[in-house]
Amino acid sequence: MASPAWCWSPRLNVAKFRNLADGEIGFCEGVNVLTGANAQGKTSVLEALYVAATSHSFRTSRSLEAIAHGASEALISAEIKQRAEDLGTALKCVLTPKGRSLLVDDKKPKTIENYVRICPVLVLQPNQSLPVDGPPARRKLIDRLVLWDPSNQGYLRALSDYRHALLQRREILRTRGPRGSDLDAFEDILASQSEQIWRCRQPGVAHFCAFFPEQIALLSGGSMTCEVRHRRRPESNDDLRTLLRERREVDARMQRTSIGAHLDDLEFRTPLGLASVNCSQGQLRILELAARFTERHWLEKHERSAILLLDDATGILDAHHLAKLAELLVSHRGQVLLSTTEMHAAFARAADRLFVVDAGRVKIAH
């Protein structure tokens, strides 16, 4: 395999974003640890880089909430490099109360899909848990796996067409019943787009299911096992057009479409049963970390890397698992931004650059 393009950001510029002071923050290529008391801006630093790379926040769907009080807009820009000698790519995102605007090297990107593929970013939040958070959160993971595969151009368009047809079918069933004259046309779209969506999803999901147990073993030191299974409706390769027509009466009563790609899910199962009901908070945290490292492994398979954003990564884990996480961060080449209120010895040793965040100001400690 060729040497992967190690995506990283040497500098981030913010203006009127959350409680952060306006200015530039310089990161190193390895492990960057941000420490400080609660509510000082650590998470906002991670969020700003995430916004610059993905065009949206992992904390809110409303742009207004990320704009500093009294400001009319927030500006976030990040320089993205593949290797140290590269000139870099400038990503810029301007947030306004009405939405956002994006620039790549001062030019508008052709599509949002082109924009988000430039710099893969994986984020871990304190209360995030794939086994517990529900199918929508797990389908977002599935969608990311597809996006990281460069052969899947047009996936977001297929999803958009599928969702539009899904809404139209539901509306026809609601207003005109199971004999609505337009149902055939929209069910044809659902069937054809489902086939394309499933075809795009299969390689990434298969890789995730295969490599996730290995990451669990590394993070837990062999004390924990968990398998992932892909659940889809229908699970067989039966003709979806036929199944949709057969389920019109049922779907009209339920006011939803009960089969199709929108119901794909991942099931996390330990030897005791479903992880959502059989794992402690610490174990769920390990599962979530393992999911991020498995995504990263999928990216490396495509000669890419991702920036890892770990928000309050140390909050629930005990000293043993913190040490395992620190070892894994050091052994994985690539950029990491990790926030913590407590500076554990394992992370002090792992840090290539240490920051202190206080009242929105970010200062290098070493």
pLDDT tens-digit profile of 294-310? 999 999 888 888 899 99
The pLDDT value recorded for residue 1 is 38
The pLDDT value recorded for residue 29 is 87
The pLDDT value recorded for residue 6 is 62
Look at residue 324 and tell me whether its pLDDT is greater than 60: yes
The pLDDT value recorded for residue 2 is 43
Q: Which residues contact 218 (CB under 8 A, 6 or more apart)?
A: 290, 293, 324, 328
Look at residue 85 and tell me whether its pLDDT is greater than 80: no
Predicted structure pTM score: 0.88
151 vs 19, higher pLDDT: 19
Reported CATH class of domain 1-120+304-366: alpha beta
Look at residue 332 and tell me whether its pLDDT is greater than 90: no
Look at residue 329 and tell me whether its pLDDT is greater than 90: no
Look at residue 365 and tell me whether its pLDDT is greater than 60: yes
pLDDT over 70, % of the chain: 95
In the chain, the DSSP E strands lie at: 8-15, 23-26, 31-35, 74-81, 89-96, 99-104, 121-124, 227-233, 260-270, 273-274, 307-310, 336-340, 353-358, 361-364
Look at residue 107 and tell me whether its pLDDT is greater than 70: yes
The pLDDT value recorded for residue 249 is 96
Look at residue 330 and tell me whether its pLDDT is greater than 90: no
The pLDDT value recorded for residue 3 is 46
Residues paired with residue 35 on neighbouring β-strands, in sequence order = 340, 356
Residue whose entry in the numeric block shows the structure tokens 């969506």: 197
Look at residue 224 and tell me whether its pLDDT is greater than 50: yes
Q: What single DSSP character describes residue 66?
A: G
| Cα–Cα distance, 336 to 95 (Å, whole number) | 25
Q: What angle do CA 333, 285, 116 make, to 5 degrees?
A: 50
Q: Per-residue pLDDT tens for 244-288?
A: 999 999 999 999 999 999 999 999 999 999 999 999 988 998 999
103 vs 127, higher pLDDT: 103
3-state secondary structure of 341: coil
Domain boundaries, the chain: 1-120+304-366
Q: Per-residue pLDDT tens for 193-222?
A: 999 999 999 999 999 999 999 999 999 989
Token code pair at residue 143: 């969608």
pLDDT over 90, % of the chain: 63
Q: Per-residue pLDDT tens for 144-176?
A: 999 888 888 889 899 999 999 999 999 999 999
The pLDDT value recorded for residue 11 is 92
The pLDDT value recorded for residue 236 is 66
State the virtual CA torsion across 125, 336, 118, 213 in degrees, nearest 10.
-70
The pLDDT value recorded for residue 5 is 54
Mean of pLDDT over the chain: 90
In the structure, what pLDDT confidence band is assigned to residue 317 with cuts at 50, 70 and 90?
confident
Asked if 301 and 207 count as a contact pair (C-beta separation under 8 A), the reply is yes
